[in-house]
Chains A and B, each alone.
Chain A
Amino acid sequence: MIKTELEYGEAQRAEWEKRIAQGEWIARFLEPVRELHRTERIANVQQQRSAGDRMSATQLAEIGPYLAEISDIDIRREFFQGRPLDQTLQGIVVPLVEDVLERDPEVRSVLNIGAYYAFIDHHLAQRHPGVRFTAMDLIPDMEGFNAEFRLPNLAFRTAYPLAQIEGGAVAPDLAMFSATAGEIRNAELRRYLRALAATCRYVVLSEPIYPLATGAIVDPGSVPLAASVPAFANADYMPHTVGPIAFVHNYRAMLAESGYRVLHYRAYRPAFTYLRWVEVIAERAA
């Protein structure tokens, strides 16, 4: 016997199709707004769970396993092998750091806050053997994760960078954030900059400007100093339930608040992506 008996008639199909078509029309307006509200809720929860302007012990305990869970090293290796460095988002920071190193030979140590997979740090350390680089992140085994990048002038540290800076365990001449500051909450990032201002001469930022769920792009210069805009949150269909939340900060105002003078500021769209980007070089005011 070959037959189909779905007990599902044309009228039912037409009703379903109408429902979906109308629902999609509504969803076009509604879903971005729901996502905006979800992102704001997650940002509020994270703020509540933090210990004011630093991460709480619970958050610190969560972030290491999260970073370990997404440590897809083969994908990252292949990614960097497959294109020129200047066509990667991570590569944007390289000329910014090198600009400072070229202009100020007194810079002898560089700290990468949130280095994770330290391809960039390795690249910089190779090109500047006279400079000590430290790649720091919360992934449990920074050293093992980055074993392929070992160099005499490149150290890997698993630590909470804010605690290390405040405790005096690291005192770099230059601190860089590459796609890191955007994932740090407003109060915590401002505490980082205040802590750095005590000893660190230069801060280099190379950060994405994530579009809002509605597609709108927020100009970092228009964001209030104390109220960064939550722009992106870990999607709820991801395998890992804990993930990043990313903000658009007013980096210029934050740096000025901590006594840094902005030497270079560029908010733009790199040619190889639709994502907007902000790059900043700042020097501690005399």
Chain B
Amino acid sequence: VIERLDTTELELDPVIDRKRLWYRRFGELIYYFSEPALEMQSLEHRAYVQKARSPGSRLTEAEIAQNASYMVDVQEREIRRAFFAGRPIDQTFQGLMLPLVERLLARDPSVRSLVNVGAHFAYCDHVLAERHPQVSFLGVDFAPNLREFNLEFVRPNLDFRSGYALDLLESGELKPDAVLMSSTAVVIKNAEVRRYMDHIAKSRAYMILNEPLYNLPGGGVADPDAVPAAESLPTYEVRLADNRPGPLCYTHNYRAIALAAGLEVLYYRVFRPAFTDLRMLQLIAAAPR
């Protein structure tokens, strides 16, 4: 048997501890200034690389394949289920799209179909479909198993389609009355967002946006209206748990892009929801009617 003790003898040296504390404080001071600058540089580098690898206004085939694989990678269904079960829907980022979509449905009852580009885990689409049985909802995303991933949400007026939404829209396979992007346009490059808007203007559909405005490194907040329409600002890079880079997030000048596409902005709101420090942008635009 051992001698049972109740002791803490960590052999700490107060002089060394004081020195460490001082080093840490000075390090924190340098960090405070240097880290945001380093992070900004890193975001700019990533944006350059993305531009070089993705010329033009659509995704390359390699990017489409990568996105499909990434979307499968982040299918943590039980976490998402628990997340939505654990709080009122109006206190979730995705839930902020509900009143926005409903504002449009109330304004124009002729809207009969809506495509959610970047639907992923379609809890909120399900809530909308349940509330509005006269509207046909379709969630589109890159994950090849999107429908299976969302099987619990499939309803007579809600279904899912795997693929590249821009292709599906431009080819005429999908002709919705309204296109929704919720936390989706933020990860789409500038030229591609503009191409989506151009198509929506041509097809005389509505564009609904519910997008986060990620803080800049160091806590800065960019006003989307202050961003050049043709040169969006990289603000944040998603990092996966194993430290691989995820999508690069931008702040776009959504209003200017919509206007340039010939859309009329019917609703525009930039605000900070009460449950978060993150700012959000909401926009409804349509071709002049």
Q: Complex: how many Å from CA A263 to CA B23?
A: 38
B108 interface contact, C-beta 8 A:
no
Smallest Cβ distance from A98 to chain B, in angstroms?
8
Task: Say yes or no: B78 contacts A221, CB within 8 Å.
Answer: no
Q: Complex: how many Å from CA A92 to CA B57?
A: 62
A90 interface contact, C-beta 8 A:
no
Task: Say yes or no: A242 contacts B10, CB within 8 Å.
Answer: no
Task: Say yes or no: A33 contacts B10, CB within 8 Å.
Answer: no
B52 interface contact, C-beta 8 A:
no
Task: Select which of B12, B35, B82, B239 is within 8 A of A52 by beta carbon.
Answer: B82
Q: Within 8 Å CB of A79, what residues of B?
A: none
Chain B residues with CB under 8 Å of chain A are 1-2, 4-12, 16-17, 20-21, 23-24, 26-28, 30-31, 34-35, 76, 78-79, 82, 239, 241-244
- By beta carbon, the residue of chain A nearest B38 is A34
- By beta carbon, the residue of chain B nearest A268 is B9
Smallest Cβ distance from B242 to chain A, in angstroms?
4
Q: Complex: how many Å from CA A216 to CA B6?
A: 22
Q: Complex: how many Å from CA A262 to CA B76?
A: 38
- By beta carbon, the residue of chain A nearest B34 is A30
Question: What does the 1/0 interface line of A71-89 toward B look like (CB < 8 Å)?
Answer: 0000000000000000000
Q: Within 8 Å CB of A36, what residues of B?
A: 24
Task: Say yes or no: A33 contacts B76, CB within 8 Å.
Answer: no
Task: Say yes or no: B23 contacts A214, CB within 8 Å.
Answer: yes
A224 interface contact, C-beta 8 A:
no
Among the stretches A43-51, A140-148, A159-167, A175-183, the one at the interface with B is A43-51
Task: Say yes or no: A30 contacts B30, CB within 8 Å.
Answer: yes
A26 interface contact, C-beta 8 A:
yes
Q: Within 8 Å CB of A31, what residues of B?
A: 27
A201 interface contact, C-beta 8 A:
no
Q: Within 8 Å CB of B242, what residues of A?
A: 62, 241-242
Task: Say yes or no: B10 contacts A56, CB within 8 Å.
Answer: no
Task: Select which of B10, B30, B82, B244 is within 8 A of A209 by beta carbon.
Answer: B10
Q: Do A262 and B6 contact each other (CB < 8 Å), given the known contacts A32-B23, A33-B31, A34-B31?
A: yes
Task: Select which of A51, A62, A268 is within 8 A of B82 by beta carbon.
Answer: A51
Chain A residues with CB under 8 Å of chain B are 26, 28-34, 36-37, 41-42, 45-46, 48-52, 56-58, 62, 95-96, 98-99, 102-103, 209, 214-217, 219, 221, 236, 241-242, 262-269, 276, 281
Smallest Cβ distance from A231 to chain B, in angstroms?
13
Smallest Cβ distance from B104 to chain A, in angstroms?
32
Task: Select which of B4, B7, B20 is within 8 A of A267 by beta carbon.
Answer: B7
Task: Say yes or no: A51 contacts B78, CB within 8 Å.
Answer: yes
Task: Say yes or no: A34 contacts B35, CB within 8 Å.
Answer: yes
| Residue of A29, A49, A52 most packed against chain B (CB within 10 A) | A29
Smallest Cβ distance from A106 to chain B, in angstroms?
16
16 A–B contacts, CB within 8 A, in A order: A30-B34, A32-B24, A37-B35, A46-B241, A51-B78, A56-B79, A96-B2, A99-B2, A103-B1, A242-B241, A262-B6, A264-B5, A265-B5, A267-B9, A267-B10, A268-B7
Task: Say yes or no: B2 contacts A276, CB within 8 Å.
Answer: no
Smallest Cβ distance from B38 to chain A, in angstroms?
9
Q: Within 8 Å CB of A48, what residues of B?
A: 79
Task: Say yes or no: B27 contacts A33, CB within 8 Å.
Answer: yes
Q: Within 8 Å CB of A46, what residues of B?
A: 241
Q: Which 8 A-B pairs rank lowest in CB-CB distance, beginning with the nearest?
A: A33-B27, A241-B242, A29-B27, A264-B4, A267-B8, A242-B242, A99-B2, A29-B26
- By beta carbon, the residue of chain A nearest B239 is A45
Given contacts A28-B23, A99-B2, 4 further A-B contacts (CB under 8 A): A57-B78, A214-B27, A216-B21, A264-B4
Q: Complex: how many Å from CA A49 to CA B78?
A: 10
Task: Say yes or no: B27 contacts A221, CB within 8 Å.
Answer: no
Smallest Cβ distance from B24 to chain A, in angstroms?
5
Q: Complex: how many Å from CA A265 to CA B16?
A: 26
Q: Within 8 Å CB of B2, what residues of A?
A: 95-96, 99, 264
Q: Complex: how many Å from CA A267 to CA B34?
A: 37
Q: Within 8 Å CB of B4, what residues of A?
A: 99, 263-264, 281
Q: Within 8 Å CB of A33, what residues of B?
A: 24, 27-28, 30-31
Q: Within 8 Å CB of A32, what residues of B?
A: 23-24, 27
Smallest Cβ distance from A280 to chain B, in angstroms?
10
Q: Within 8 Å CB of B21, what residues of A?
A: 216
Q: Do A219 and B1 contact each other (CB < 8 Å), given the known contacts A33-B24, A242-B242?
A: no
Q: Complex: how many Å from CA A233 to CA B242?
A: 11
Q: Complex: how many Å from CA A128 to CA B4?
A: 21
Q: Do A49 and B9 contact each other (CB < 8 Å), given the known contacts A28-B23, A32-B24, A33-B31?
A: no
Q: Within 8 Å CB of B23, what residues of A?
A: 28-29, 32, 214
